[in-house]
């Protein structure tokens, strides 16, 4: 009877907070409660609210590697202990009693935890009501920093997610240097803004590396700064004193980079923390830069086809936004209606547009083939149908069914006689605007 009551309460909970300790991990009943929550969440919208997990991992004491429940591997944790920089096996728990040496750290971490949970509950309430207005959400990479600046980093994450922005990473970064670089490069490709907090301490150096986490992330962000619309923001405390010797060299490099006149330079703020946050919010409030059509080119309407499971893909949204930023109207395929009505509407959309882009993500190969054939069928009746631009964009996931398209010579896939080849774009990796260059050149060329 008691277990039934407990299971009902756990299943109705919005957020599940686990205070992980060796005893918790060894407890069968604690594991059972976690399984109940996960099962209920799968039936009520999933474990994630935007990019945040409804599983909250509070780590009271440092755990042996590999002992945490697998459900928590892709969640951010709140550690209530401090590791020793020289000896990674040594640590000290924060004191929960007022007046004790590390009580302030305990209180600050509690504040961060409670604010994060409060924001998540508010967001869940907004999503349930469907009454919130759509905001201009941006995606931000918030670099891992040293322990002394972690409360500042947590404050920025809290502020940005509370305003509806997506903050990456949403899970801990790898400790291995090569894996770290790969992970950060993938995250930066998804973002518009990169934020780095740099203080007195040089910080931890990942395995197989000679530079700290902070410097490696900074270098990787530098490679993105000439990308159109990308912002690289660095904060250094205005009252910074006595930085470590190696950190002095890193800071000198940061200042040197900010003095360069190249496009996409780094913006370095040596100010108060509140002034930096105001500057960051100002950057976020700016509208993304719009790329004007080249002289002589006319706007072309694009019919963007995708299967319904791909409709909410982030990459599809970026493709749509990029085409529109260049001045091209984009029409998405309809999904609601009777089959005959949908077929007629699709034929009308092909007739009303100048180009079609088929998005190949999680769709079945039969769906792709049907759309390709239907496009040619409709265009054969249209005058001048042979001038209509056709392209296929290959998105994640990469699988053997897409291999034939990936191997197309010169990115051109031969179809029906009398029509130009189908243009093949993308490489089954993350979207970047340059991957649409051939399609853009085709639809923007002067007639």
Domains in the chain, please, with CATH?
1-132 (3.40.50), 133-289 (3.40.50.300), 302-444 (3.40.50.450)
pLDDT < 50 stretches in the chain: 130-135, 261-265, 290, 385
Q: Which two tokens stand for residue 4?
A: 């039934």
pLDDT at 138: 87
In what order do the strands lie in the sheet containing 55-59? 16-20, 55-59, 77-79
CA distance 299 to 270: 43
How buried is 10 (Cβ within 10 angstroms: 0-12 exposed, 13-18 middle, 19+ buried)? middle
pLDDT at 287: 58
CB 247 within 8 A of CB 146: no
DSSP 281-312: HHHHHSPPPPPPPPTT-----EEEE--GGGTT
Q: Which two tokens stand for residue 143?
A: 């670099």
pLDDT tens track for 54-108: 888 888 888 777 777 777 766 767 888 887 767 767 888 888 888 888 888 888 8
- In the chain, how long is the greatest CA-to-CA distance? 83
On whether the pTM is more than 0.85, the answer is no
CB 189 within 8 A of CB 432: yes
pLDDT at 132: 37
The percent helix, strand, coil of the chain (3-state, each to 5) is: 45, 15, 40
CA distance 275 to 255: 18
pLDDT at 85: 67
Residue 188's contacts (CB-CB under 8 Å, 6 or more residues apart) are: 141, 194, 220, 221, 224
CA distance 359 to 58: 40
The β-bridge relationship of strands 422-425 and 412-413 is antiparallel
Between the alpha carbon of residue 112 and those of residues 20, 31, 80, 139, 162, the distances in Å are 17, 26, 11, 21, 13
CA distance 72 to 89: 21
CB 443 within 8 A of CB 300: yes
Phi-psi region of 418 (alpha: psi -120 to 50; beta: other; left: phi over 0): left
87, 51, 250, 280: which is closest to 166 by C-alpha?
51
Question: Angle at CA 38, nearest 5°, toward 10 and 128?
Answer: 75
The β-bridge relationship of strands 48-49 and 52-53 is antiparallel
- For residue 269, the cross-strand partners are 235
pLDDT at 47: 77
Q: Which two tokens stand for residue 409?
A: 């010579």
């Amino acid at each position: 009877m008691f277990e039934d009551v407990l299971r009902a309460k756990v299943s109705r909970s919005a957020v599940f907070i686990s205070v992980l300790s060796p005893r918790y991990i060894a407890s069968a009943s604690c594991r059972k409660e976690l399984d109940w929550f996960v099962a209920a969440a799968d039936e009520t919208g999933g474990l994630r609210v935007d990019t945040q997990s409804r599983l909250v991992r509070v780590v009271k004491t440092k755990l042996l590697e590999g002992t945490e429940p697998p459900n928590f591997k892709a969640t951010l944790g709140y550690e209530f202990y401090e590791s020793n920089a020289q000896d990674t096996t040594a640590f000290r728990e924060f004191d929960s009693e007022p007046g004790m040496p590390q009580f302030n750290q305990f209180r600050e971490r509690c504040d961060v935890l409670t604010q994060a949970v409060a924001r998540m509950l508010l967001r869940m309430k907004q999503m349930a009501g469907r009454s919130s207005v759509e905001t201009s959400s941006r995606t931000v990479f918030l670099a891992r920093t040293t322990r002394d600046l972690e409360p500042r980093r947590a404050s920025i994450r809290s502020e940005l997610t509370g305003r509806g922005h997506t903050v990456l990473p949403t899970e801990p970064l790898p400790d291995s240097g090569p894996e770290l670089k790969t992970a950060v490069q993938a995250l930066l490709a998804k973002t518009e803004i990169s934020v780095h907090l740099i203080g007195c301490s040089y910080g931890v150096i990942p395995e197989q590396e000679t530079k700290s986490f902070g410097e490696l992330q900074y270098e990787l962000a530098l490679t993105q700064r000439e990308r159109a619309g990308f912002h690289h923001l660095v904060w250094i405390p205005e009252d910074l004193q006595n930085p470590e010797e190696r950190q002095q060299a890193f800071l000198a490099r940061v200042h040197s980079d900010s003095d360069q006149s190249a496009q996409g330079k780094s913006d370095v703020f040596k100010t108060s923390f509140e002034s930096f946050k105001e500057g960051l919010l100002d950057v976020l409030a700016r509208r993304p830069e719009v790329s004007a059509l080249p002289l002589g080119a006319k706007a072309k309407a694009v019919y963007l086809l995708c299967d319904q499971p791909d409709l909410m893909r982030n990459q599809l949204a970026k493709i749509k936004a990029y085409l529109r930023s260049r001045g091209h109207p984009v029409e998405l395929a309809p999904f609601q209606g009777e089959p005959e009505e949908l077929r007629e509407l699709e034929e009308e959309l092909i007739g009303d547009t100048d180009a079609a882009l088929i998005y190949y993500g999680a769709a079945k190969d039969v769906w792709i083939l049907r759309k390709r054939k239907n496009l040619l069928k409709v265009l054969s009746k249209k005058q001048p149908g042979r001038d209509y631009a056709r392209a296929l964009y290959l998105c994640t996931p990469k699988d053997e069914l897409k291999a034939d398209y990936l191997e197309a010579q010169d990115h051109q896939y031969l179809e029906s006689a009398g029509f130009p080849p189908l243009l093949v774009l993308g490489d089954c990796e993350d979207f970047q605007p340059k991957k649409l260059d051939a399609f853009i050149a085709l639809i923007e060329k002067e007639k």
